[in-house]
Amino acid sequence: MQETILKVLLVEDDRAIAKVIALELEHHGHSVVLAAEGRMGLDMALTQEWDVILLDLMLPFLNGYEICKQIRARKDTPILLLTAKDEVQDKVFGLDIGADDYLTKPFAMDELMARIRAVLRRKNPPVKKNLGQLTFRELELDTQAYQVYFRGEEISLTKKEFELLTMFLEHPNRVLSREHILENVWGFDFYGESNAVDVYVRFLRGKIDERFGVHYFHTVRGVGYVLRAED
């Protein structure tokens, strides 16, 4: 079951290794962009938004340590170092300059996927519910009272709209696939129209985006939707 579609930057000069990693990530439904040398990797890391960066250490033009330091000075994007170096001091240095984890080559793809999940859990802990309260910008949702407010003004939602909005508020800024939404809001045994998710997102847009002049619900073509604010 695909829960979240990740945008992954892979900075790796070994094309054989890069191909294996990219295929594994894409098999899990994630989007992968490859940078085959250090300067390109740093530029892409700083000028675009990524869910996680997989960073080799031994790279042409600019090594992974320097890339990691420069990224961390400006961004908190999760960084997982990939390297053939297995000396303790190398690992400690990598973590000290801001890497979130360190994986020594060769490694199993299952371990790589597990490390990515662990890094993301640490960087994006579950939303804390304060007595059933979930918030996103001016939007407030009370899971116990079954009420939704925008800037203090109550929004009337159906049960399914409320459940769908709850899911979005629990996973802000994360792309959710239609399949994941169907399975978790409508249930595994849902046999209704395949466009149910699109219809209900349209309902939420009408009651929130259009009513209050915001743009919270974004379509990710061919994948699903993401709750994200645009300033």
Hey, which CATH number is domain 133-227, 3.40.50.970, 1.20.1260.10, 1.10.10.10, 3.30.1180.10? Answer: 1.10.10.10
d(CA 106, CA 177): 32
Average pLDDT over residues 138-156: 92
pLDDT attached to residue 186: 76
pLDDT attached to residue 21: 95
Three-state SS at 26 = helix
Residue 94 or residue 154, greater confidence: 154
Structural domain boundaries in the chain: 7-123, 133-227
pLDDT score of 210 more than 80: yes
**Cβ pair 64, 97 in contact under 8 A:** no
CA-angle at 145, arms to 144 and 148, nearest 5°: 110
N-terminal to C-terminal alpha carbon distance within the chain: 32
Helices (H), 144-205: 159-170, 178-181, 196-204
**What is the pLDDT of the chain when averaged over all its residues?**
86
pTM greater than 0.85: no
Maximum Cα interatomic distance, the chain, rounded to a whole number of Å: 59
pLDDT attached to residue 7: 92
Three-state SS at 165 = helix
Average pLDDT over residues 65-94: 85
| pLDDT cut 90: percent of the chain above it | 52
Average pLDDT over residues 198-218: 94
* Range with the poorest average pLDDT among 120-124, 173-177, 191-195, 208-212: 191-195
Domain 7-123 architecture: 3-Layer(aba) Sandwich (3.40)
| Token pair listed for 216 | 């919270």
pLDDT score of 159 more than 70: yes
Looking at the chain, how many residues does it have? 231
pLDDT attached to residue 2: 43
Q: What is the pLDDT of residues 173-185, one digit of tens each?
A: 888 888 888 888 8
Q: pLDDT category, 126, cuts 50, 70, 90?
A: low
* Range with the poorest average pLDDT among 53-57, 108-112, 117-121, 214-218: 117-121
Phi/psi of residue 149, each to 5°? -130, 145
d(CA 151, CA 153): 6
d(CA 65, CA 55): 9
Q: How far is CA 49 from CA 9, 19, 25, 230, in A?
A: 9, 22, 18, 14
pLDDT score of 189 more than 50: no
pLDDT attached to residue 124: 63
The beta strands (E) that lie in the chain are given as 7-11, 31-35, 52-56, 79-83, 101-104, 133-136, 139-142, 147-150, 153-155, 176-177, 217-220, 224-227
Residue 132 or residue 1, greater confidence: 132
